[in-house]
Each structure stands twice: as structure tokens, then as C-alpha cells.
Structure 1
Amino acid sequence: MTRPASPRSLDAFDLAILRLLQTDARTPQRTIAEAVHLSAAAVQRRIAALEASGVISGNTAVIDPEAVGLGITAIVEVHLEDERTESIREAKALFRAEPAVQQCYYSTGGISFFLIVVTTDMTAYQALARRLFEDNPRVNRFRTLVALDRVKTGGALAF
């Protein structure tokens, strides 16, 4: 994920617009304009500036995994053999390229990465785990926690 060279200064209007967009990115700009007491043109300019500066990094549809046949959600702790730059770079590239990996966090505290993974079933998860972790010489060990229920996902940032 690319970050802007110098952070954009956000004012109260920007923050109000961001709160609304986090709730529903499809909210019409005229509706946002009414809610934040700006013109639609001003809202359009501000959204474009927020996108250009990297504050808004993208817009996506939130899809229920079970509705598309992905019944298993797993949280995976990955411990690499070493923390050398090349090992980290390779692991990031591998996890980033894998569609089943929905989220990936490089972390501190003795665990190299935390992954959120979705698959159709346990057989598919086992095949994925074998390919990404068991047969990967860079991985020392991994631990899988299977989610029983999706209580909250994709929450809006509080600011």
C-alpha cells in the first residue's frame, strides 16, 4: 500500500465526508453535500483530493463470504524462519498474491504475520496451508484459528 509523501491536512469537512463514505461509499455527492453543508461541487473536489492524496485508498464491495461459498474463515499466525529483509519481502509478495488471503499484517511480538483467510471448506484450507506454509521453507511454523462466527468485519475507522 502506497502512502502519500506528505500527509494531507484534514479539516472538519473532510472528516465528515470520510465518515459518510465509510458508511456507504455509494452515497450520492449531493446527499453528502447536504449532510456536511457544502456544495456538491465542493464535495466532489474534496473527494478527488482525498483520493489523490491517498487518504481514500480505494472503494470495494463488501461481500458475505458464505453467500459465495466461502464457509471457512481462518486467522493464521505465521512464524518465519528468520526476519531478514528478503524473507519478509518474499512472504509479503506470496500472501499479497493469494486470493484466499483477505488480510495480511506484518507484526511484532514474535509472530511474523497475521492472516485472515477464507476458503470453501477444510479440505481447501488444508491444501492452501500446505502450499503457503507447510511446503514453504521460509515458514518455521504456523497456527490456525478457525472463526466460529463473523461478529464484526470491515468496521469504519473512528476519528
Structure 2
Amino acid sequence: MAPKRTIPPRALDAFDLAILRVVQRDNKTPQRVIAEAVNLSPAAVQRRITAMEAAGVIVRNVAIVEPEALSLAITALVEVRLRDERAATVDAAKALFRATPEVQQCYYVTGGISFVLVIISRDMRSYEALTRSLFAENELVDYYRTNIALDRVKADTAIAVG
């Protein structure tokens, strides 16, 4: 995971936001097409994208893969409560969840639980094996609860920009 960078000292302007709307839909959009859409030159678009990448506004450029195309049939939403909230415990859990490829998303949260995870697994047997190592046999974990998704109604990565 890329280190967090600081947001630029200046606010993003209307051109930056327009560029973000385009690249969030398809980051392979040619810069000349983006330039036409936002009324800038391709060079200006490139400078702005580079600046937003350097500032940490644009964190990564990735391909979004359909899980079913890879025979990944199970999406589990898992609530995890740690045995305590000491910094060392939380940091160890964060490191474990970051290092686990099946953990697609991980959120450290408030409200009586410690983490909410989105886990993708090939099948229920694979998921069970993963839960044993991540949760059931993990001294850091006090409790976990799984919800299995019946249908992925919406899975988007785009953030609404002004």
C-alpha cells in the first residue's frame, strides 16, 4: 500500500474536479480526450494529473476485476472485535489484514467493534479455513461475525466530486 501523502495546500479547482470525474470512470482515457472534455490542453491535463498523483489525491491506477471471472464466489462482510484496543494490538491486526490477499477492504471503526472487513473467497471451505487463521485461532481477536453477500448490488470505486 502506498504511503499516505498530503493533500495539496491549494484546494482542487473546477478543472481538477472535472479531470477526476473522467479518470475515475476510466483511467485509460487518453489525455487529449480528457483535455477536450474539460477545456484544457493535453499538457495542462498531464501537469494536473501528475500534481494530483504527487499530492496523494490520485493514489493508484488499477484494473477492477470481476470476482466471478476468477471463480471467487463468496463475498463476506466481517465484523471483528479485538480483545483490546491498545496501539500494539490494533497495529498488529492492521498489519495482518493488510497482508492477507483475501481481505479486499479493511476499515478500523468505532461502535463496539474494531474492524469491518470485506473478504473475497473461492468457496465456503476456503472461507472457513481463512476464518480459522485470521479470527478463531488469533489471540488478538475477541469476537467476529460474518455476513455473506447474496448479491453485489453496487461496488464502485468512484468518489463523488464537486
Q: Choose which of 46, 64, 67 in structure 1 pairs with 2:66.
A: 64
Q: Which residue pairs with 1:119 in the alignment?
A: 121
SS at match of 2:131: helix
SS at match of 2:16: helix
Shift of 1:7: 4.6
Q: Which residue pairs with 1:73 in the alignment?
A: 75
Equivalences for residues 3-152 of structure 1 within 5 A: 3-4=5-6, 7-152=9-154
Q: Deviations over 1:68-107 (max 9, x none)?
A: 0100000000000000000000000000000000000000
SS at match of 2:143: strand
Shift of 1:154: 2.1
CA distance in 1, matches of 2:73, 2:90: 29
Query: Runs of 5+ in structure 2 lacking a partner?
Result: none
**Contact 1:73/1:116, CA 8 A, preserved across alignment:** yes
**Contact 1:8/1:53, CA 8 A, preserved across alignment:** no
Bigger drift between 149-158 and 85-94 goes to 149-158
CA distance in 1, matches of 2:160, 2:26: 15
With the length of structure 1 as denominator, give the TM-score of the two structures. 0.97
CA distance in 2, matches of 1:111, 1:42: 46
Shift of 1:3: 3.1
Identity %: 60
Shift of 1:155: 3.8
CA distance in 2, matches of 1:81, 1:42: 51
Shift of 1:64: 0.6
Task: Give the superposed CA RMSD.
Answer: 1.1
Shift of 1:158: 1.1
CA distance in 2, matches of 1:76, 1:23: 28
SS at match of 1:34: helix
Shift of 1:4: 1.0
Q: 1:8 to 1:111 in 2, by over 3 A?
A: farther
* Count of residues in correspondence between the two structures: 159
SS at match of 1:59: coil
With the length of structure 2 as denominator, give the TM-score of the two structures. 0.95
